[in-house]
Amino acid sequence: MSGVTVMRYEKKVKPKCPYCVTCPVFECFRIESTRNVFINLYCWGNFHKCERMQARGRGEAVPDNLLPNGFIFPTRKATIGNL
Ligand code: SF4
């Protein structure tokens, strides 16, 4: 025994929201870094906290400009979509 402890690094893969590819809310963001903040906060790993997902779970119509934090994006014309 050398006395050296080797720790194994395991990268955790965050589960992604099933709507990541088609979610219309991403069209609200022109600045990529802003979009990435929401992706990191909600879409990758925490999508159960997303207001869009919660509204969908309640059977409510989800406006395209409903942000994951529950705010309405102000300048986009509101439309109702599936998600
Ligand atoms: S914003 Fe919400 S519904 Fe859209 S991809 Fe992200 S977690 Fe899913």
Distance 36 CA to ligand 1 centre (A): 12
Residue ID of nearest Cα to ligand 1 atom 1: 68
Determine contact, residues 51/68, Cβ cutoff 8 Å: yes
DSSP per residue, 47-81: GGG-HHHHHHHTT--EETTB-TTSPBPSSSPP-EE
Query: Is pLDDT at 20 greater than 90 in this prediction?
Result: yes
Residue 77 has pLDDT above 90, yes or no: no
Ligand 1 centre to CA of 30 (Å) is: 17
pLDDT given at position 80: 53
pTM, two decimal places: 0.79
Question: 83 or 48: which carries more pLDDT confidence?
Answer: 48
Q: What is the pLDDT of residues 25-71, one digit of tens each?
A: 999 888 999 999 999 999 999 999 999 999 999 999 999 999 999 99
